[in-house]
Structure 1
Amino acid sequence: MKGLYLVEPVVAVYAFAIFMVYPLVQQYVYRRLWQQITNTSYPVMDTSSQCDTNHSSNLSSQYEEVQKAASLFSMYSELFSMIPSLPMTLVLVAYSDQRGRKITIILPLIGSLVYCLCLLAVSIFELNLYLLIAASIFSSLFGGIGTILGGCFSYVADLCEDGKQKMLRMAGLDMMLGLLSGVAVISTGYFLHATGFNWPFFTAAIFHVLNLVYAVFILEESRVIDSTNCAENDPHILQKLTLGIYQLFARGSRSRNCLLILLITIFCSFSFVYFGGLSLVTLYELNEPLCWNEILIGYGSALSTAVFAVSFVGVYVLSCCLSAPSIIFIGMLSVFIGLVMMAFIKTTLLMFLVRIPMLLGIMPFPVMRSIMSKMVSKSEQGALFACVTAIDNVTTTVATAAFNSIYAATVGWFSGFAFLLAGVLCLIPMSLLGILRFFGLENTSESESLLPQEETQETDNTPVA
């Protein structure tokens, strides 16, 4: 049977399964910590979004203590899982230049399946909560979300020759990631409310199994390497692998390297602010004065993921009339406004409405990925996205840990301080974007002139989509 060159279903199903689990883990940890710290059952609210009528100082201090413990648990989990995930992302995505992209997809799916099964075991048998950190570390040995996304973006870059097509298809991957995660989180709220934690964890594991079947047996390899040029006993394979990222910059001109480094810096600094700030939203919604239940959290998370669809439409429309830096700036401005507003929200209605100013917040990511992809040759796509995703993994993990620590330290006197800080830090990538415009990169086509002349046909037999 002839396979398909469609990596979008992999991203869609992976996003659904991952984001079905992610908010559940936060809520599961929060409830277990509540039981451990207060020695009472977790207060269940059927439809109300208001806090318990007992606003005694003892109850408020319990909320604050659980909030701190939950945020620190999240920080430890993110930091410890990053240690093996980072080198695995570098190795696997760079290795895909030599052996094909599917390895960067299959291994992270196996790791996610193992993690879901561990979550299910901890939930069913009420095992020690900190086993979740051990499970996160073990699953990251197979790579993580950075690995699979790096592989999928490299896969798309292999298939697309036209610059606008590449940008739109990368934006499409971001949209699939967002839309399916939105469907997952809103269904998770009802799923949790109706069945508890076990069935959602089991369902996510089933989706990972189905995704593995598609990736292994149906998805075609986008980068078919000539076995005569890449034999298993080639003594230079290991050298090519370990020096892939070094060669990415060594073979480029000084102007291209400076521009590439600047783009990576803008990409990662904006990612630091965006994902670091938004990692606190669920904890903020669980805290006073909102005290949301799982249904409201699901609706809020689903509304947040509408940003992916709106950002895709924004990229498609704005690319017809604006330069790439202008599209990036509009997206960053959208995030800046939303984060600053979120810092002062105290009601449920405003917490829903604050998502609206951030609807274009994802636009900078696919635009910058497309620009960077066009600046390197086909044989360097894996090395590029290995570099980008590895650095992005570090920055987002450090951001999550840093903002969780800041939130734990400031939740008692101003719970919105972390969001306000994130908004202020958003000015950094916006300022760096001004330097990018100074370099004269007004549209993505100008980056093509920086592409080194390199004959890749001898080592690459890339199919045309």
Structure 2
Amino acid sequence: MFPRCKWFIWYGRKITILLLAPEFDMNMAFGGTDTRACNLLLIVLSLYHEWCEVQKKTSLFNLQVEISGLIPGLVSTFMLLSSSDNHGRKLPMVLSSLGSLATNVWLCVLSYLGLPLQLLIASTFVGALFGNYTTFWGACFAYIVDQCKEYKQKIIRIAVLDFMLGVVTGLTGLSSGYFIRELGFVWSYFIIAAVLIVNLTYISFFLSDPIKESSSQMVTMSCRESLKDLFYRTYLLFKNGSGKRQSLLCLLIFTIVIYFFVIIGISPIFTLYELGSPLCWDEVYIGYGTALGSVSFLISFLGIWLFSYCLEDIHIAFIGILTTMLGMTLAAFARTTLMMLLVRIPFFFTMMPFSVLRSMLSKVVHSTEQGEFALKARTAVSQLQPVRSMPAASEPPTGVSAGLSFEGEA
């Protein structure tokens, strides 16, 4: 499928014209004499339109799944991360891990019994009630900030956290294609569930929590009073402090939300583009691309470690944003497997703005408000995330990625 598809796509100017304009008269193009060429061209057009339809349906289904978990995810994230400032960071970690475990067990059952994919929407809704990856990641970030006293140490530890995420992402991306090919979806989801059980056990019994409940915090409050307290502390996050601090806080949150939106949004667009023509990648090539992209976590960690000695934080963030823009622009013109793999190189500094901007934010926010800050940054990203699946259903993926790069810089 892979070499044949590429041969058809690049076979002459006439075939390219017909791919761009399917209503073009094939008898006129070939003079009505080459019947075999016309038959081959019909096959090419059929495959091309089938891929376009698969891309559209995949994007719309992803949008439906994400919207189903948006509202419960926002509510659970707000409740858990806000309360973690007083009751500890372990609770949101444990509950979000339980939600992920339940979702993966349900995926395993769906794959084993061959149930309709629409049931994924229900599982996403139920799993989001316990919190999602946004809840877990926000709690991890707040946990790291609680442990650090010096600003330089805070930057390095956040970069290490991003680096570890990249290592795990790269290993799973490199091996996922082989796991699916050799073991199938059932055993793949079972392995993920087993890893989540180990992670849940470690968080519950071995991870220490730096925030301890005082006797004043343990006073029983009604549900209504608890909600009022959560909203009031969120309001105080912006009320306390000078006007300069409020402006800086809003500007940093806006910047990191837009950058998160761009980086997270291009991931499914890249996958859809790699699956379609002219690349026609299979699951192994997709894994290679994901693993190569995950090298950015290592390079970004080394970049932060080196640049922090000679550059300001804002300059490090600019380097990451500008190189990401360059990578997205080059991806819009990649038409071969080699070029698509080389396009990943400009993305090597993509993760630097994440660590630097979050460290700058944590310096502005008081130590007792880290859960509220993580809540604002992560829930804002969750609100924008479902939008990323909408353009891929109607626009060419590479054009969307190039446009997102300039939107993120603006």
- TM alignment of 1:149-164, pairs within 5 A: 149-164=137-152
Equivalent AA in structure 1 for residue 339 of structure 2: L
- Greater shift, 147-156 or 52-61, is seen at 52-61
Residue 350 of structure 1 corresponds to 339
CA distance in 2, matches of 1:357, 1:50: 28
- TM alignment of 1:210-289, pairs within 5 A: 210-226=198-214, 228-233=215-220, 238-289=227-278
* TM superposition shift of 1:67: 1.3
Higher helix share: 2
CA distance in 2, matches of 1:341, 1:60: 23
Equivalent AA in structure 1 for residue 111 of structure 2: S
Equivalent AA in structure 2 for residue 232 of structure 1: V
CA distance in 2, matches of 1:209, 1:69: 33
Say whether residues 1:407 and 2:383 are aligned partners: no
The correspondence for 2:399, drawn from 408, 414, 417, is 417
Q: 1:48 to 1:219 in 2, by over 3 A?
A: farther
Equivalent AA in structure 2 for residue 267 of structure 1: I
Give yes or no for contact 1:311–1:363 (8 Å, CA) kept in 2. yes
- TM alignment of 1:31-42, pairs within 5 A: none
Equivalent AA in structure 1 for residue 318 of structure 2: F
Flag the structure with larger Rg.
2
Say whether residues 1:189 and 2:161 are aligned partners: no
* TM superposition shift of 1:105: 0.5
CA distance in 1, matches of 2:374, 2:270: 28
- Greater shift, 284-293 or 242-251, is seen at 242-251
Give yes or no for contact 1:230–1:237 (8 Å, CA) kept in 2. no
Q: 1:52 to 1:201 in 2, by over 3 A?
A: farther
Moved over 6 A (4+): none
- TM alignment of 1:307-346, pairs within 5 A: 307-346=296-335
CA distance in 2, matches of 1:243, 1:196: 49
* TM superposition shift of 1:50: 4.8
* TM superposition shift of 1:407: 2.1
CA distance in 2, matches of 1:188, 1:243: 44
CA distance in 2, matches of 1:209, 1:50: 42
* TM superposition shift of 1:331: 0.5
Residue 175 of structure 1 corresponds to 163
* TM superposition shift of 1:388: 1.2
Structure 1 unaligned regions, length at least 5: 1-44, 429-465
CA distance in 1, matches of 2:350, 2:102: 32
Residue 106 of structure 1 corresponds to 94
Equivalent AA in structure 2 for residue 82 of structure 1: L
Equivalent AA in structure 2 for residue 161 of structure 1: K
CA distance in 2, matches of 1:366, 1:244: 25
Give yes or no for contact 1:50–1:292 (8 Å, CA) kept in 2. no
Equivalent AA in structure 1 for residue 374 of structure 2: F
Equivalent AA in structure 1 for residue 44 of structure 2: S
Cα distance per residue 1:141-189 (max 9 Å; x no partner): 1111111111011111111000011111111111111110110111111
* TM superposition shift of 1:286: 0.7
Q: Secondary structure of 2:66's match?
A: helix
Number of matched pairs? 375
Q: Secondary structure of 2:285's match?
A: helix
Q: 1:49 to 1:382 in 2, by over 3 A?
A: farther
CA distance in 1, matches of 2:219, 2:130: 22
The correspondence for 1:360, drawn from 349, 356, 361, is 349
- TM alignment of 1:54-73, pairs within 5 A: 55-73=43-61
Q: Secondary structure of 1:314's match?
A: helix
Equivalent AA in structure 1 for residue 172 of structure 2: A
Q: Secondary structure of 2:277's match?
A: coil
CA distance in 2, matches of 1:231, 1:114: 30
* TM superposition shift of 1:111: 0.5
Aligned-residue RMSD, C-alpha: 1.7
* TM superposition shift of 1:233: 2.1
Q: 1:346 to 1:251 in 2, by over 3 A?
A: same
Q: 1:164 to 1:50 in 2, by over 3 A?
A: farther
CA distance in 2, matches of 1:60, 1:218: 53
* TM superposition shift of 1:241: 2.1
CA distance in 2, matches of 1:49, 1:214: 49
Equivalent AA in structure 2 for residue 328 of structure 1: A
The correspondence for 2:370, drawn from 357, 381, 389, is 381
* TM superposition shift of 1:49: 8.8
Structure 2 unaligned regions, length at least 5: 9-39
Give yes or no for contact 2:269–2:398 (8 Å, CA) kept in 1. no
Q: Secondary structure of 1:166's match?
A: helix
Cα distance per residue 1:63-110 (max 9 Å; x no partner): 111111111111111122111101211111110011111011001100
- TM alignment of 1:95-134, pairs within 5 A: 95-134=83-122
Residue 25 of structure 2 corresponds to none
